[in-house]
Structure 1
Amino acid sequence: MGIIKKILVILILVFAIVLIGAYFMPKKYSVEREITINKPVDSVFNYVKYLKNQNDFSVWASIDPKMKSIYKGTDGTVGSIAAWESDVKEVGAGEQEITKITENKRIDFALRFKKPMEDTAVGFMSTEAVTGNQTKVKWGINGVIPYPMNIMLPMMKMDQMIGNDLQKGLENLKNKMEN
């Protein structure tokens, strides 16, 4: 009986330490990548603001060619939604909604993931003229991992995991725009 009590006390202590640690861990993540494209800002912006075009350069859309896409509203305007559904775990199911557009500068969107797990995040794509024929494009995603799951945030390596896909997507966009 004494050994069982000691094991139980140790388990409770370990669990308490994990919960206390999670309380002090960051809950937010922010990932951004950028690239320079040799095209004028209006040309690049007018391409990326359409949700249907994002499937042409997004890494996630290319993972499952059989992915089902549904579009609601007027694409390229506030309130338009692109929903996706895939049996491939890395793609899952969810939707992206344009929440704000600052013409030739920035598109903000809400991301609502449904599968493989429910989650929400916000994202943006911004364009900035570097020279007359060059545009810097930034793509970013921000989210929150709720307590106590945030204890996993340092191990998840969100910057690397999401960042690599954003960078590859931007490289795809550059190739598409320049060729």
Structure 2
Amino acid sequence: MKILKKIIIAILLLLVLVLVIALFMPKEYTMERDITINRPQAQVYDYARMIKNQDYYNVWVMMDPGMKKTYTGTDGTVGFLYAWDSEKKAGKGEQQITKLEQNNLVAYELRFIKPFEGKAECNVRLQQTDTSTTNVNWSFHSSMAYPMNIMLPFVKGMMGKNMEETLSNMKREIEKK
């Protein structure tokens, strides 16, 4: 009985420690990744603003080929809405274009519905480095409520890898054209 009591106390102390650590961890976070694509800025922009193109490069979209997708509006324009529903890892959510700056910016909001609710502001910024090369900067800004924010280091690690793979896939697809 003493051993069981010690185990329960140890588990409770560990839980309290985790909750205290979460109090001091950030709740908001921003992630950025960059890649250089060997194509002119206008060509990269024309590809990046079309949300349906993500079927060919976005690792989250590619996780579940059977994912249910719906589209509202005209792809590549402000207000275009892409919704997904996946029984697998991608969950359920929406992506909506919120701002476009010709050849420079594609901004959108991600709204996660399942398995966890959340929102994120994302920007794809383009900068021409020379006549045939474009730097792509993809940023993701969101928040995690306490005590879930204790998971931020793990989420950022996993997301960072997925963002890099997505950008690499985007580069491959654009440079094929």
Unaligned runs of 5+ in 2: none
**How far does residue 8 in structure 1 lie from its aligned partner after superposition?**
9.1
Please give the secondary structure, in 2, of the residue aligned with 1:46: helix
Partner of 2:79: 79
RMSD across aligned positions (CA): 2.3
Matched, 1:36 2:36: yes
CA deviations on 1:109-155 (whole Å, 9 max, x unpaired) are 1111111221111111111101000001112211101112212323x
Q: Percent identity?
A: 42
Partner of 2:93: 94
Question: 1: distance between equivalents of 2:136 and 2:100?
Answer: 15
Partner of 2:54: 54
Count of aligned pairs: 175
Matched, 1:117 2:116: yes
Partner of 1:24: 24
Decide whether the 8 Å contact of 1:27 with 1:144 is kept in 2: yes
Distance 1:147 1:38, change over 3 A: same
Partner of 1:178: 175
State which of 125, 142, 162 in structure 1 corresponds to 2:159: 162
Unaligned runs of 5+ in 1: none
**How far does residue 178 in structure 1 lie from its aligned partner after superposition?**
1.1
CA deviations on 1:40-65 (whole Å, 9 max, x unpaired) are 00010011101111222101111111
Please give the secondary structure, in 2, of the residue aligned with 1:176: helix
Question: 1: distance between equivalents of 2:67 and 2:122?
Answer: 21
AA paired with 1:120? K
**How far does residue 169 in structure 1 lie from its aligned partner after superposition?**
1.1
AA paired with 2:121? V
CA deviations on 1:52-102 (whole Å, 9 max, x unpaired) are 1122210111111111111111211111111111111x2111010111112
**How far does residue 25 in structure 1 lie from its aligned partner after superposition?**
1.2
Question: 2: distance between equivalents of 1:151 and 1:20?
Answer: 10
AA paired with 2:118? D
Distance 1:11 1:60, change over 3 A: closer
**How far does residue 14 in structure 1 lie from its aligned partner after superposition?**
5.9
Partner of 2:69: 69
Question: 2: distance between equivalents of 1:114 and 1:11?
Answer: 32
AA paired with 2:59? V
Please give the secondary structure, in 1, of the residue aligned with 2:66: coil
**How far does residue 21 in structure 1 lie from its aligned partner after superposition?**
2.9
18-27 vs 75-84, which moves further: 18-27
